[in-house]
Structure 1
Amino acid sequence: MLLVVAVVWGTSYGMVKQAVLFYPVAGFLFIRFMLTFVLLLPALRRCWRQAVVPGLVLGAVLLAIFLCETFGVALTTASNAAFLISLCVVLTPFVEWLMLRRRPENSVFIAAGVSLCGALLLTGGVVIKMNAGDMLILGAALLRAVMVCLTKKLMQHRNVPALALTAVQTGMVAAGSLALLLATRQGIPALPQSAAFWGATLYLVLFCTLFAFFAQNYAVKRLTPTRASLLMGTEPLFGALFTMFWLQESLTPAAWLGGILIVGASVWATRPRRVAVIPVSD
């Protein structure tokens, strides 16, 4: 499920870029997450009390992630943004160690380093000069790591359906986006009439939001945060493949090698381990 999340999130950048050509960023986020919230309202009928506290907390973090990512991309290059977001894979083991008091296995740190090298090759190996946009993207990467670990911490002792949790999260993001839109503009702009805008928005609602957040909330409860992050860390590869086939962009041999390193590190780190069984004599 998390690999499918990485696939659809990899395609989301092109869709978002298309949608924001027709509508302000905050307004687009409000439409996207409000539509998702409305679709998920039935999931809250019987269990809203259990979902509201963790959902509001995680929703606030999610809102911060989207704001940092969206405004950060506008202030830096795409290569820098892709590389810095990939640092989430490297940061997650340390955040897990700090928040959950659980040191990941040594193999996880190795896999995170390999994945980082792969992301660097995939995005061109640029020398990064930190500007305001870079700092926002780096903040988003850290918040992604916090999000995965916080989801694990809040949900491991709660029996909250993943759909109900997703509903509260998306409602929180929609409310925050609307507040930001009202604070920066005089009223809400007229809705776009373009079919391209609504096609991209519906794709993002159904696959990149509704399915992706449900899958993440469901899977993180059953995996360690670091393993979940490594699986979702394949997102830059699928994003590169999407731009190659859909937007007719080409990949260099170094980029292909980087993609192979990312996928290989994720598969190796999440492979089933054999548990040694020591026989006990009577």
Structure 2
Amino acid sequence: MDSKQVLGTASGAWGERRWAGVGAAEVMLLAVAAVWGGSYAVAKQATQQLPVLEFIALRFGLTFVVLLPALRPLFDAQWRQGLAVGGLLGANLLAIFVCETFGVSLTAASNAAFLISLCVALTPFVEWWLLGRRPEPRMFWAAGLSAVGAAMLSATSPASISVGWGDGLMVIAAFLRAVMVCMTRRFAGRHSMPALTLTAVQSGMMALGAMALSLVASKGAWHMPPATASFWWGMAYLVLLCTVFAFFAQNHAASHSSPSRVSLLMGSEPVFGALIAVYGFGETVGAWGWAGGLLIVMAAWWVTMPQSTAPRAHSVNL
């Protein structure tokens, strides 16, 4: 199926527009990486004021409310199929965020940045496994380059990388991120929902799932969210930019780009996280870390360059 049929002719044409080998979908993904790069500090502060599962339920419950107008396409003939796809992807996202949020709370931020970036290295293999399509050789090389760069970015030296329970959760989250990208691509032709509608369904599923898990874990206990301005400003950042915009951009781009390319571009997230940490929160990143960040940027740039081989010109329909 031609990917331009997924979100409509106008949206598809916009997604296919390219400048010097970089399309609008890739630009959106880099913007998402920048936004998510600043989310770690905000989320960490918020989870210090509210339990993790309740925080996830509140964040995605608010996202669902914001996106209520986007649910109108669900009343079309294919609403059952749309709900099934959105629910499945939402359950996967909930698993990602539970592992990610608990993982960050149990390990160093540098370790978390490295381990979640393993999604970049894992995606070509997950794509091969789930979609039966062997990625281009350069995807494997670029994925390896990005993984090495993420390791360098997250540690002052090779000896400073450690492994713990939080690290294990981040590895699981990285694997689930790779699965998520491939599943979004695989299910793209099985529904006619716009990207925002799919995001709304996913958010509703995540809010309900996190609420149910929290009530079971706490035996029915529930906390009122704090009334501090910092908490709600942070929540607004997470809901509007890190969730509404980011999930829309990822769902849209996954229908216009290969899973490996999506993950490689998203792998630049640690670079933006380091820049925000240094210039926004006064943290220090040494030469080893900046060298690793350069490797990630190089890998992301490499994978966006257009193909010059003739056989790729015949592989338009996926």
State the distance in 1 between where 2:294 and 2:189 align: 33
Q: Note the alpha carbon deviations across 1:119-160, whole angstroms, 9 max, x for none.
A: 111011445443322211110000000000000001134322
Of 104, 111, 117, which aligns to 2:142? 111
Whether 1:86 and 2:110 are equivalent positions in the alignment is: no
**More displaced, 91-100 or 151-160?**
151-160
Whether 1:76 and 2:120 are equivalent positions in the alignment is: no
Q: Which residue of 1 aligns with 2:175?
A: 142
In the alignment, is the contact (CA less than 8 A) between 1:80 and 1:126 conserved in 2? Answer: no
- For 1:102, what is the secondary structure of its paired residue? coil
State the Cα distance separating 1:51 from its structure 2 match.
2.3
1:222-233 map, 5 Å = 222-233=256-267
State the distance in 2 between where 1:195 and 1:59 align: 29
In structure 1, what residue type is equivalent to 2:176? L
Of 121, 125, 130, which aligns to 2:163? 130
Of 35, 42, 45, which aligns to 2:62? 35
Q: Which residue of 1 aligns with 2:11?
A: none
**More displaced, 135-144 or 20-29?**
20-29
State the distance in 2 between where 1:268 and 1:98 align: 24
In angstroms, what is the RMSD of aligned CA positions? Answer: 1.4
State the distance in 1 between where 2:284 and 2:165 align: 29
In structure 2, what residue type is equivalent to 1:120? A
Whether 1:167 and 2:194 are equivalent positions in the alignment is: no
State the Cα distance separating 1:274 from its structure 2 match.
2.7
In structure 2, what residue type is equivalent to 1:154? F
Structure 2 alignment gaps of length 5 or more: 1-27, 312-318
In structure 1, what residue type is equivalent to 2:264? L
In the alignment, is the contact (CA less than 8 A) between 1:119 and 1:258 conserved in 2? Answer: yes
State the distance in 2 between where 1:67 and 1:253 align: 33
- For 1:47, what is the secondary structure of its paired residue? helix
Whether 1:155 and 2:188 are equivalent positions in the alignment is: yes
In structure 1, what residue type is equivalent to 2:241? F
Instruction: Calculate the TM-score normalised by the size of structure 1.
Output: 0.94
Aligned residues: 277
State the distance in 1 between where 2:73 and 2:269 align: 34
State the distance in 1 between where 2:187 and 2:71 align: 18
In structure 2, what residue type is equivalent to 1:23? L
Percent identity of the aligned residues?
Answer: 54
State the distance in 2 between where 1:214 and 1:137 align: 23
State the distance in 1 between where 2:284 and 2:137 align: 35
Structure 1 alignment gaps of length 5 or more: 278-282
State the Cα distance separating 1:175 from its structure 2 match.
0.5
In the alignment, is the contact (CA less than 8 A) between 1:163 and 1:214 conserved in 2? Answer: yes
Of 40, 51, 55, which aligns to 2:82? 51
Q: Which residue of 2 aligns with 1:191?
A: 225
State the Cα distance separating 1:28 from its structure 2 match.
1.1
In the alignment, is the contact (CA less than 8 A) between 2:153 and 2:288 conserved in 1? Answer: yes
Q: Which residue of 1 aligns with 2:315?
A: none
